[in-house]
Structure 1
Amino acid sequence: MQKLDEEILSVQNQVETNKNQQASKAVFTHLHLKKLHEQVVVITGASSGIGLATARMAAARGAKVVAAARNEDALKQLVDELRSKGCQAVYVVADVGIEEDVMEIADTAEREFGGFDTWVNNAAVSIYGNAMDVKIADMRHMFETNFWGVVYGTRIAVKHFKDRGVPGALINIGSLFGDRGTVVQSTYASAKFALHGWTESIRMELEKEKAPVSVTLIHPGRIDTPYNEHAVSYLEKQPAHVGMMYTPEVVAEAILFAAEHPKRDIFVGGQAKFLATFGRLAPRLMDKWIQLTMYRTQHDDRPSKPREESALYDPGYGMHERGTNSGWVRDKSLYVEATKRPVATALALAGIGASIWAMARGKNK
């Protein structure tokens, strides 16, 4: 009799466990992320460019910030700046290409703030040069940062959100060159292709198991940051964006929107969407367009800095959001705004379509 009672109790416990698991999965079918002022946000590559702009914007909106990068002087200056404004922030000196360093970022967030709610994989560095000229050692080291750093951050963030049981946001910063290959930055494009593939794959796996993780891929176009100055250059002339680009604050806006609202993808800039769309629809035509435009718009007329002065192996200079690029810098992206307000955008487009149709009818009468 006692054995029968134990078996009945075991079955009841198993049924209860199954119910709890199903209820848990149901909760995560529609993820509800915390408001930004309630969040702890981890940002890699936070000492300059997009990461720096995102850290400042997140802190200004009430989030607690864990800033990570290799440049300790810049990180200390950033955290002192944020704290002087009444914000809560800590920093971690970390090379994201080293898994133990990435683990320390998470440990610091846990120790200082009890965990984190959004993890932004932003750290990256580029290499400018023809593919056949770039040293294999440089390629491998760049992949450690641009791809493996994202893998390490992803695995740590996902485990944290699963263990905690409260939905969180994983935000990976891709590139327009992760959707379409390019010349001169072939190694960078390859690493971003890998990042995009990784992000799409883990997103599907996590959705299948109804894990409490929102996975967003940001697709920035050309952004006015020190990215080019930090890059390794095999060119005679200094890498630079020449033409239309966007401020890093535009990308930061997209990142922080994704921190509160689950989104699959956010394109920052029409150029990013253009390359992704037409690269699929007319790949051969896009080959010719890139060959025609990208050689002359990825450098200016200054002599290139020596490769030894790049940020591939050592930290680059910090506390600069903007770079030394040449062209028209826009402070707003229509694609980001459309992503943030899809209903209003759809209604506006419908209104425009209706107006055009009405005018066409009027002309035909």
Structure 2
Amino acid sequence: MNNIGTGKINKWTSTLISGTNKLTLKDLQDQVIVITGASSGIGLKTARMAAAKGAKVVAAARNEDALQELVEELKAKGHAATFVKADVGREEDVHAIAKTAIEEFGRFDTWVNNAGISVWGYAFDVTNEDIKRMVDTNFWGVVYGTQVAVKHFKERDVPGALINVGSLFGDRGTLVQSTYAPSKFAVHGWTESIRMELEKEQAPVSVTLIHPGRIDTPYNEHARSYLEKQPAHRGMIYPPEAVAEAILYAAEHPKRDMFIGSQAKALELLGTLLPRLTDRLMERIIYPTQHVERPSKPREESALYKAGYGMHERGTNVGWMRKRSLYVKACKHPILTTIAAGVGLTVWSLAKRKD
């Protein structure tokens, strides 16, 4: 009797710690994947990589010309794809994305909430109108996408993946993008909350939060700027394919979080363990690493209220351009990562003893 009880407790504890209902997701080659914000940057790269792996792609964004060009490109290579012109800040547009996917392919298996926009400027300089518009895209777009995706997965009763793209500034507040960060905090809080609710009811949904660091996309060019100098990332910058790699891995493997670049994970840890030190560091380094030495584009040219230019994966950022994220690759092999960490700790401990 005691052994049986212990077995049940161990099984329950294992399930509790793993934080998953052990869902099995389809291989990408057998999937229909919906990607918002697919006309440029991370979304564009993810669409191309997903199609190359055999997935059927449903691309959504506000730039219809770019979407049409993308779909024609994918079809010319023998891939199945369709597009939907949509503003994710409008609930009816998000429903139209789901409807198109179902009418075209009969279903969707992964939904990627990627669309996003930023405002560069100090918080008290930015108008409430601009903040609300940004939140419509960054937060409400994720809420609407989550609702239609979860409803679809539950109705089909077939495991599906919901992937929300957050930010390193969703884990830690910042300067200059101080109105953007709260919109991503909201995405992180929403994702964690609905993940727990869905796990509790054992719904057939894998929920992943993506934490990108500084990524080389046109995101800075699309942003509305209140700065005198043009917004841009400076320093260590990761390619959009590193984010796409993490997204597509999560589409096949249930993952709670995927951090893009050690900088994203390091900022989260530093902000948690040493918050005041992190405040001071960011007060010194953020502003000079968030612009380049040329005049900022006029606000009316931003993509806050209209579609930005499309079909560009990379932006105009400057600095150390990484070719990949080793941290993403490590996260895809957690056992090897744990072993490596254990070996590293052992070596460090032995070295300390010798000292």
TM-score computed with the length of structure 2 as normaliser: 0.93
Match of 1:283 among 275, 280, 293: 275
How far the C-alpha of 1:197 sits from its partner, in A, is: 0.4
2:40 is matched with which residue? 48
2:254 is matched with which residue? 262
- C-alpha separation in 1, matches of 2:268 and 2:145: 26
- C-alpha separation in 2, matches of 1:356 and 1:221: 28
Match of 2:300 among 292, 308, 314: 308
- C-alpha separation in 1, matches of 2:53 and 2:270: 37
- C-alpha separation in 2, matches of 1:334 and 1:77: 32
Please tell me the residue identity of whatever aligns with 1:216: T
- C-alpha separation in 1, matches of 2:342 and 2:223: 44
How far the C-alpha of 1:348 sits from its partner, in A, is: 2.3
- C-alpha separation in 2, matches of 1:175 and 1:200: 14
Give runs of aligned pairs for residues 324-339 of structure 1, distance below 5 A. 324-339=316-331
2:12 is matched with which residue? none
Match of 2:169 among 149, 167, 177: 177
The SS at the match of 1:327 is strand
The SS at the match of 1:206 is helix
- C-alpha separation in 1, matches of 2:164 and 2:349: 41
2:341 is matched with which residue? 349
Structure 2 unaligned regions, length at least 5: 1-19
- C-alpha separation in 1, matches of 2:276 and 2:339: 35
The SS at the match of 1:322 is coil
- C-alpha separation in 2, matches of 1:138 and 1:252: 28
Deviation track 1:274-302 (CA, whole Å, cap 9, x = no partner) reads 11111111111111001000011100111
Moved more, 341-350 or 238-247: 341-350
- C-alpha separation in 2, matches of 1:119 and 1:110: 12
How far the C-alpha of 1:29 sits from its partner, in A, is: 2.7
Match of 2:52 among 43, 60, 78: 60
2:125 is matched with which residue? 133
Give runs of aligned pairs for residues 92-107 of structure 1, distance below 5 A. 92-107=84-99
Deviation track 1:48-91 (CA, whole Å, cap 9, x = no partner) reads 00000000000000000000000011001100110111000000
Moved more, 327-336 or 139-148: 327-336
How far the C-alpha of 1:354 sits from its partner, in A, is: 3.9
Q: What is the alpha-carbon root mean square deviation over aligned residues?
A: 1.2
Deviation track 1:188-213 (CA, whole Å, cap 9, x = no partner) reads 10100001000000000000000000
Please tell me the residue identity of whatever aligns with 1:264: R
Paired residue total:
336
- C-alpha separation in 1, matches of 2:345 and 2:133: 50
2:264 is matched with which residue? 272
How far the C-alpha of 1:356 sits from its partner, in A, is: 4.6
The SS at the match of 2:140 is helix
1:76 is matched with which residue? 68
- C-alpha separation in 2, matches of 1:98 and 1:360: 58
- C-alpha separation in 1, matches of 2:125 and 2:169: 19
- C-alpha separation in 2, matches of 1:242 and 1:335: 20
The SS at the match of 2:82 is strand
Please tell me the residue identity of whatever aligns with 2:47: A
- C-alpha separation in 1, matches of 2:262 and 2:31: 30
- C-alpha separation in 2, matches of 1:352 and 1:201: 35
Please tell me the residue identity of whatever aligns with 1:98: R
Give runs of aligned pairs for residues 15-34 of structure 1, distance below 5 A. 29-34=21-26
1:147 is matched with which residue? 139
Match of 2:181 among 189, 204, 212: 189
Deviation track 1:8-35 (CA, whole Å, cap 9, x = no partner) reads xxxxxxxxxxxxxxxxxxxx93200000
Deviation track 1:133-174 (CA, whole Å, cap 9, x = no partner) reads 101100001100000000000000000000000000000000
Report the CA distance shift for 1:66/1:301 in structure 2 as closer, same or farther (over 3 A). Answer: same
- C-alpha separation in 2, matches of 1:207 and 1:90: 32
- C-alpha separation in 1, matches of 2:317 and 2:27: 35
Deviation track 1:97-141 (CA, whole Å, cap 9, x = no partner) reads 000000000000000000100000000000001111101100001
1:230 aligns with 2:230: no
How far the C-alpha of 1:353 sits from its partner, in A, is: 3.6
- C-alpha separation in 1, matches of 2:59 and 2:264: 27
- C-alpha separation in 2, matches of 1:130 and 1:358: 48
Moved more, 246-255 or 351-360: 351-360
The SS at the match of 2:124 is coil
1:208 is matched with which residue? 200
Match of 1:91 among 37, 60, 83: 83
Moved more, 338-347 or 179-188: 338-347
Please tell me the residue identity of whatever aligns with 2:60: A
- C-alpha separation in 1, matches of 2:338 and 2:172: 27
Match of 2:236 among 241, 244, 247: 244
Structure 1 unaligned regions, length at least 5: 1-27
- C-alpha separation in 1, matches of 2:91 and 2:115: 14
How far the C-alpha of 1:358 sits from its partner, in A, is: 5.4
- C-alpha separation in 2, matches of 1:354 and 1:208: 38
- C-alpha separation in 2, matches of 1:58 and 1:265: 20
The SS at the match of 1:90 is strand
Deviation track 1:33-53 (CA, whole Å, cap 9, x = no partner) reads 000100000000000000000
1:293 aligns with 2:279: no
